[in-house]
Amino acid sequence: MVLCFPACSPKKPVESNVKESAAQVAEKPAGAVAKHANAAAAPFQDEPAAHALYKQTIAAMRKADSLSYVSRLSSDWKGEVSGNRTYRAWLKKPNYFRVEAEVSVKNKKPHDNEVKTSGILIGDGATLWIYWPLGRYKDGLEEPAAYEKTRLTSYMKKPAPPGGHSIGHAMCYMGPRPILDPSTFFGYTDSLQAYLDGVTGQGTEKVGSEDCDKIDVSFMKHQRSWHLWVSKRDHLPRKLTEIVRVSRDLVIHEEWSSVTVNADIADAMFAWKPPEGWTQWKEPPLEAGLLKPGAKAPDFDLASADGKQIKLSDFRGKVVWFYIWRAG
């Protein structure tokens, strides 16, 4: 007997009896969205005018010679807001970029937190570098002694050919991924775009001092959607919300501020070399975490896509096939 536990499927939208629209759900305060899981409604209808606004947003990023902004992210899962992170991004043609991740660090005095840079990602035109001023995160397959020895003096290095790299994916090494990949600026197209169903308009709204058009971008039959508040002035987003519809909605919030287009950014911002004595760190291969042939699998619980719990020991004596899938 072979059992398959897919994480999700792009071919069949999750069914729901909830009549409230995804746009209405996105407007709710953090913590309220999780109560309205699977807010997908009827098949998504594309509106040409709204779709044109979405294309204009992508074009505005790609036409700029330079772009800088501050992005603040948080996520809402089962009513709990987490993953708070601030990114400061500088992008410059033809292929230069810098992203700094900031976190709030608690000091000894109560209510006296300090904002510090926890990770820095730099693209010098051909290579992407990442290092961690507060210490590198620990991979679950690393030996503790090796981690302690290198966590403050290690860096990652990846090729970054023009238009052929994803800053968003690399940002996972510093915190949560942004909704709109910064590499869009350089002509990169993320994998979700192949599953785009359509775009609808949601009216207008002011975000800070910016008058914005609101649009709802649907992917994979509305299993995932982006809500974008796009400035009428420069056609760049000021607020973004992503909804991933599984058993309970995962909602990611992002706000852009200090958006500056075509400013002069010195090349020195995008230059970095590892200090003497630092070592290049590479993630341990997945094979390092595999069980040896014949070894007994440890028991564990997993949450399935339908919200139920799956316990491995419930299938003792049977053949179990785990199928893990993702898009985006």
- Measured CA to CA, the distance from residue 242 to residue 177 in angstroms comes to 11
Please check the confidence at residue 100 and state whether its pLDDT lies above 50: yes
pLDDT at 26: 40
pLDDT at 109: 66
User: What average pLDDT does range 175-187 have in this prediction?
Assistant: 95
- Measured CA to CA, the distance from residue 313 to residue 299 in angstroms comes to 6
Instruction: Note whether residue 318 is domain-resident.
Output: no
Confidence tier at 112 by pLDDT (50, 70, 90): low
Instruction: Note whether residue 89 is domain-resident.
Output: yes
pLDDT at 36: 38
26-59: pLDDT as tens digits: 444 333 333 333 444 445 789 999 999 999 999 9
Locate 193 and state its tokens: 């775009």
Please check the confidence at residue 209 and state whether its pLDDT lies above 80: yes
pLDDT at 37: 38
**How many folded domains does the chain comprise?**
1
CB-based contact 248:262 (threshold 8 Å): no
What residues make up the domain containing 200? 22-287
Please check the confidence at residue 303 and state whether its pLDDT lies above 80: no
pLDDT at 139: 82
pLDDT at 110: 60
- Measured CA to CA, the distance from residue 32 to residue 26 in angstroms comes to 9
CB-based contact 182:123 (threshold 8 Å): no
Instruction: Note whether residue 190 is domain-resident.
Output: yes
User: What average pLDDT does range 97-124 have in this prediction?
Assistant: 86
Instruction: Note whether residue 129 is domain-resident.
Output: yes
Kindly tell me the burial class for residue 285, based on how many C-beta atoms sit within 10 Å of its own C-beta (0-12, 13-18, 19 or more): exposed
User: What average pLDDT does range 274-278 have in this prediction?
Assistant: 96
Instruction: Note whether residue 5 is domain-resident.
Output: no
Confidence tier at 21 by pLDDT (50, 70, 90): very low
How many beta carbons lie within 10 A of that of residue 186, not counting itself?
A: 25
Please check the confidence at residue 324 and state whether its pLDDT lies above 80: no
Instruction: Note whether residue 244 is domain-resident.
Output: yes
User: What average pLDDT does range 284-291 have in this prediction?
Assistant: 76
Please check the confidence at residue 203 and state whether its pLDDT lies above 60: yes
Instruction: Note whether residue 320 is domain-resident.
Output: no
Instruction: Note whether residue 231 is domain-resident.
Output: yes
Query: Any idea what the CATH number is for the domain that residue 63 is in?
Result: 2.50.20.10
Supply the pTM of this predicted model. Answer: 0.78
Please, what sign has the CA dihedral across residues 13, 245, 202, 180?
Answer: negative
DSSP type of residue 321: B
pLDDT at 326: 59
